[in-house]
Amino acid sequence: MSRFPRPGRRPQDPAVAELVRAAQSSMSRRALLGAGLATTGLAAVGCAPPEPPSGGVAALELPKDLSDTEKLVRWANWTAYLDYDEEKKVYPTLERFIKETGIQAEYFEDIEDNDSFYSKVAPQLRAGQHIDRDIITMTDYMAGRMIREQLVQPLEMVRMGNVASNLLEPLKDVTFDPGRQHSVTWQSGFGGIGYDKSRVNAEIRTLDDLWNTPELKGRIVVLSEFRDTVAMIMQSQGVDLTSDWGKTEFEKAVDVIDEKISDGTIRRIKGNSYLEDLKSGNALAGIVWSGDLFILRYETENPDWEFVIPESGGTLWSDNMMVPITSPHRRNAQRLMDFYYQPDVAALVAAYVNYVCPVEGAQAEMEKIDPELAESPFIFPSTEFIAENNIQGFPGLTPEEEVEYSEIWARVVGN
């Protein structure tokens, strides 16, 4: 795997790759979600989000923490990203947190994608306004941006014993947040292809298969996060994401999306709400996130939803919990983060969301819940699984590249 960045590009961050190497070697919720997951033929991963701020904690003006008198924490997260009881309409582990701590926890599926959420809250945070959220959950590159812009608070790791003990060792020191002063990993996951195999006459193993299957024309959704959608197209065009590539390769991949929108192949470019298109049947396939497809199987009671790592490769990312700079409930937020780093709690979440678990000891706890899930490469991936499937992280961009590539992508998303 090439490790030689071109001038201006930061080297690949080994943190995500090491997460996978450190994860215990090993299918969605119980048997329904576990059957028939395809991972066809596919270089280890690296992600390098923006570098951290040069200023220190002393430069931040923190609000008075009211956690002792206001037993409340509000958490913004993505859709289908926490264990949920359909019958009782509650989040079981969150209910357990409330019972054990006396802190009222309110949970919001606020995040459609990183850019739209950032655009919504960043102006308020800069203005010193409380956004009524005490935890936000952002992907590595956006977490790095918010840390750099001093929009989140430092964490008191001395008060977070479970995190200190159980965060997988490679994740304890990442380039976008050295020493984990501002963020804690929530989950990691893969980008790939999802489709309802009962609605097509052939297996889908490549992006060309996705675009050229007649039954799928006009019924394909792709992710608005270009670090997944564009990255996978680049891989299909022979680009090693860890190598020396630039605007030319990025634009070539974006042109494919533009073409597929124009000819009616792609129905929509969407954030997390793409799941609704798949649930309703308006879309039958797409570029998707791994855990979402397993949840789709469960919620629709349709075992024919298939998640596939394309033959050319897939993507890997991590999402991180952080405390907004204006939150008055930092210590309540820290208690909630720490709660989810108990291995038994982490295993319960992983059994539902089926994303890569960052908690040491969770695999052993998963064996007690569901031995089959304890062997799932989508929750506890091995080094071999990552390498064989050419799963890569999108590299870090310079601030100039970030602006330029985002503008290119925005023109297509706006079509």
Residue 181 and residue 65 in one domain: yes
Average pLDDT, stretch 41-65?
A: 53
- pLDDT for res 128: 96
Q: Could you tell me the CATH number of the domain that includes residue 364?
A: 3.40.190.10
- Angle between helices 92-101 and 330-339 in degrees, nearest 10: 120
pLDDT at 32 over 70: no
Q: Which amino acid is at 343?
A: P
8: in domain: no
Residue 312 and residue 328 in one domain: no
Residue 230 and residue 161 in one domain: no
4: in domain: no
**236 three-class SS:** helix
Number of domains in the chain: 2
| Whether the Cβ atoms of residue 42 and residue 76 lie closer than 8 Å to each other | no
287: in domain: yes
pLDDT at 414 over 80: no
42: in domain: yes
Structural domain harbouring 336: 57-187+317-376
pLDDT at 284 over 90: yes
Residue 33 and residue 120 in one domain: no
First to last CA, the chain: 36
Average pLDDT, stretch 271-293?
A: 94
pTM for the model: 0.84
| Whether the Cβ atoms of residue 296 and residue 284 lie closer than 8 Å to each other | no
Cβ neighbours around 102 below 10 Å, total: 8
**88 three-class SS:** coil
Q: Pairing between strand 305-309 and 391-392?
A: unpaired
Reported confidence tier of residue 415, pLDDT bands at 50, 70, 90: low
> CA-based diameter of the chain, in Å?
61
226: in domain: yes
10: in domain: no
Q: What is the pLDDT of residues 290-313, one digit of tens each?
A: 999 999 998 899 999 999 999 999
Residue 395 and residue 249 in one domain: yes
Residue 182 and residue 308 in one domain: no
Residue 208 and residue 278 in one domain: yes
Reported confidence tier of residue 170, pLDDT bands at 50, 70, 90: confident
Residue 200 and residue 264 in one domain: yes
Residue 176 and residue 274 in one domain: no
Average pLDDT, stretch 215-241?
A: 97
384: in domain: no
pLDDT at 22 over 90: no
- pLDDT for res 96: 98
- pLDDT for res 399: 87
Residue 214 and residue 342 in one domain: no
pLDDT at 342 over 90: yes
Q: What is the pLDDT of residues 120-149, one digit of tens each?
A: 999 999 999 999 999 999 999 999 999 999
Residue 305 and residue 267 in one domain: yes
Reported confidence tier of residue 355, pLDDT bands at 50, 70, 90: very high
Residue 77 is given by DSSP the state E
Q: Which of 32, 75, 63 is nearest to 128 (CA)?
A: 63
pLDDT at 382 over 60: yes
